Amino acid sequence: MIAILKFVHIASLALWCAGLLALPVLLHQYGRTAAARTQTGFSRLRHLTHFSYVAVLSPAAVVTIAAGTGLIFLIEVVDPWLLAKLLMVAGMALVHAWLGHLTSRIGHGDGGYRLPPPLLGLVLALPLIATVLWLVLAKPDLAPWLDRLPALLREPQDRELPPGVVPI
């Protein structure tokens, strides 16, 4: 079961990462050419970006996250590197959402919409992906870094629940 989930996880994350790197290039290369200002060129750009985002990137992201979450429970891993990895994955999800916003705006916005530099997505996604891969493959011992966090974040505070809150 672990082998199957890992296979699904790695296959879908390869697709998601490839998409996060390719979509900004696609938006940059085609979105700013003269061809994109003709009806045929614009329709082509629209189909290409919309299809990639809706039918490839987003399902790949969901499958990656679902399979990864399954792996956490199967392998029972709760190491600090995993927490750092999830923080980086959250950054990837934000870049994903921003690219979706751009893809949507070029299709549904009025003609006056000026596309922000899509390559910014590439600049943000590349280090995030590289860091995630490093964290998961090297599994560095981040415990000493955790010890530097303020005690408030490291230890239970044993405070009373506020009145009105019903624990599960």
Footprint on this chain of ligand HEM (rule: CB under 6 A): 6, 9-10, 13, 17, 64-65, 68-69, 71-72, 75, 77, 86, 89, 92, 129, 132-133, 136-137
What is the smallest separation between the CB atom of 64 and ligand HEM, expressed in angstroms? 5
> Alpha-carbon distance 68 to 17, whole Å?
15
Tokens of 97: 């959402």
Cβ closest to ligand HEM, residue 85 vs residue 106: 85
Cβ closest to ligand HEM, residue 36 vs residue 95: 95
What residue is closest to ligand HEM based on CB?
A: 68
What is the smallest separation between the CB atom of 75 and ligand HEM, expressed in angstroms? 5
The one-character DSSP state at 134 is H
What is the smallest separation between the CB atom of 168 and ligand HEM, expressed in angstroms? 23
Cβ closest to ligand HEM, residue 116 vs residue 127: 127
What is the smallest separation between the CB atom of 92 and ligand HEM, expressed in angstroms? 6
Which of 139, 116, 11, 115 is CA-nearest to residue 64? 11
